[in-house]
Amino acid sequence: MRAAALDHFGGVENIHLAQLPVPEPGPDEVLLRVESAGVGAWDPYEREGEFAKMFGTRPTFPYVLGSDGAGTVAAVGAQVHRFKEGDHAYALALTNPKGGFYAEYAAVKADQVSPIPKKLTVEQAGVMPSDALTALRGLDEILKLQKGESLMVFGAGGGIGHLAVQLAKRIGARVFAVASGDDGVALAKRLGADAVANGRKDDIEAAARAFGGLDAALVTAGGEATDRALRAMKKNGRVAWPNGVEPVPNAPSGVKVQNYDIEPSPQQLEKLNRLIESGPFEVHVAHVFPLDKAADAHRELDKHYLGKLALRPQ
């Protein structure tokens, strides 16, 4: 199969097209013919070898990046009964020892594979899983967001943020979205945010106070504007941010601030699919790159774009 692979960790110039064997699915795995792969904001970190250091793994090369993907089931292991050849599915796997989704095929543990909700295209499903499950865990398990509460989504035009806006509306929260640029503001409005501000130029603290203050905040980008916005948190307010956000958000004393990681589970995937199916839902794909342009996709990560970037391996 064709894959965008690394012979060693390092800069973007190390990503190159390679011919690799199709991975063999184990008894509890699904072999996916990958038609869409997500390019994650964290992929450069993995490309540089930082995940291998962090998790203490011993990676082998050629190394294939990509923790999100979707496509058609090509084969299943003997213990897998939920999927059969020909099903459309999406999946996630961070630092998969059998290789990531920047490839024509990927073998993934079946408990991290899900049917594609009807209203999503394969392309959308492939870029969604990590950011959607991170958004959902932040809102549901960390912030314990309740109907009627006011929530700020900071970074609302980004991968996690644009999905969080929609999931928070499903939960019944009042959403104040802080997005980057006029295009980010327009996207967040279209996705149903109750109020939207441009975090690159507006006075976010004033806008958040005009919104009535904030019970909770999901922060996906850090910096001075973030910390200023957090001054509008109510006493005993809650802030959640996924590890990776830098600089680390600072909130006034009395506000509970919690960082967290994605913890994928079949139950969460089911919950996500139910929430997606229960109303309109958009996974915004800004740009799609062919597999041999994976390095360009990594360069694009450094620029402003909305939602997600995708690779099309097939």
Residues binding ligand NAP (CB under 6 A): 41-42, 130-131, 134, 155, 157-161, 178-180, 199-200, 220-221, 223, 225, 242-245, 261-262, 304
Among 116, 89, 101, 100, which Cα is nearest to 30's?
89
Helix (H) or strand (E) holding 166: helix 159-171
Kindly write down the DSSP assignment for every residue of 208-229, as one continuous string.
Answer: HHHTT-EEEEEESS-SHHHHHH
The torsion of the CA quartet 54, 55, 61, 64, rounded to 10 degrees, works out to -90
Among 281, 246, 257, 247, which Cα is nearest to 166's?
281
**Three-class secondary structure of residue 83 per DSSP:** coil
Q: Which is nearer to ligand NAP, 243 or 278 (CB)?
A: 243
Q: Please give the Cα distance from 270 to 268 (Å, whole number).
A: 5
Q: In whole angstroms, how close is the CB of 190 to ligand NAP at the nearest point?
A: 15
Q: In whole angstroms, how close is the CB of 93 to ligand NAP at the nearest point?
A: 13
Largest CA distance in the chain: 58
Q: Which is nearer to ligand NAP, 7 or 261 (CB)?
A: 261
Q: In whole angstroms, how close is the CB of 19 to ligand NAP at the nearest point?
A: 30
Q: Which is nearer to ligand NAP, 100 or 155 (CB)?
A: 155
Q: In whole angstroms, how close is the CB of 109 to ligand NAP at the nearest point?
A: 17
Q: In whole angstroms, how close is the CB of 262 to ligand NAP at the nearest point?
A: 4
Q: Which is nearer to ligand NAP, 1 or 151 (CB)?
A: 151
Q: Is-cis flag, bond preceding 59, omega within 30?
A: no
**Is residue 31 a contact partner of residue 23, using CB atoms and an 8 Å limit?**
yes
Q: In whole angstroms, how close is the CB of 249 to ligand NAP at the nearest point?
A: 11
Q: Is-cis flag, bond preceding 25, omega within 30?
A: no
Q: Which is nearer to ligand NAP, 55 or 61 (CB)?
A: 55
Q: Which is nearer to ligand NAP, 1 or 218 (CB)?
A: 218
Tokens of 202: 């507006």
